A = this chain, B = another copy of it.
Amino acid sequence: MSKAHQRRKQPEAVRQQVLEVAARLSLREGPARVTLEAVSQAAGVSKGGLLHHFPSKQALLDGMFDDLVGKFGQAIDEEMARHPAEAGRFTRAYLAVCFSPEHSGESDGWKTLVTELLAEPHLRARWRLWSERQAERHAATDGSVDAELVRFAVDGLWLSQLLDAPGPGPERQRALMDRLIALSRL
């Protein structure tokens, strides 16, 4: 495991690798398995090296959170940029980022967000901040009761997938999506 010692140093790549590995670990095996040892091992870095990038475990978890929230927000913004500013645009982008095939890669990360939020109550304050800012930014186009309802439903559907619940079949999921999109336009 002394690879990183010899290879060309690219700290940013290592940092990113660590964050991804930690997220995957947290999602698949539960937050309890996210130990410095396990993460460093899976990321191909020594524990000392890991602690160089993230001076404490708390810092690692916070780093994960910030990284994920950042990526999620960016994905939504990009998705929104592809559509005119009609009513419900934000809500539809929210839906697309959570379920469209193009974003399926990141959706695992998005799931990790909740896992973290539930495991680390102190992060909830930051989440609240982000959440409030979004609501405020898109109050004009997405402030309706139905839009909010749709976003809640998206969260619920997404949670059920996260819990390995018996999700709706593909065709039914399609029907659900269509219904949600329709509601977002009201």
Contacts and interface: CB of A to CB of B under 8 A. Distances in A.
A179 B148 CA distance: 11
Q: How many copies, total?
A: 2
Interface in A127-186: 127-128, 131-132, 135, 145-146, 148-157, 159-160, 162-166, 168, 172, 175-176, 179-180
A166 B131 contact: yes
Contacts of A125: 164
Chain A residues touching B, range: 35 or more
A164 B128 contact: yes
A166 B168 CA distance: 29
Contacts of A52: none
A120 interface: yes
A9 B151 CA distance: 50
A62 to B, nearest CB: 14
Contacts of A7: none
14 contacts: A30-B118, A32-B119, A114-B118, A119-B119, A124-B164, A127-B165, A131-B160, A135-B166, A145-B176, A149-B176, A149-B180, A152-B152, A152-B153, A152-B155
Interface of A: 28-32, 114-115, 117-121, 124-125, 127-128, 131-132, 135, 145-146, 148-157, 159-160, 162-166, 168, 172, 175-176, 179-180
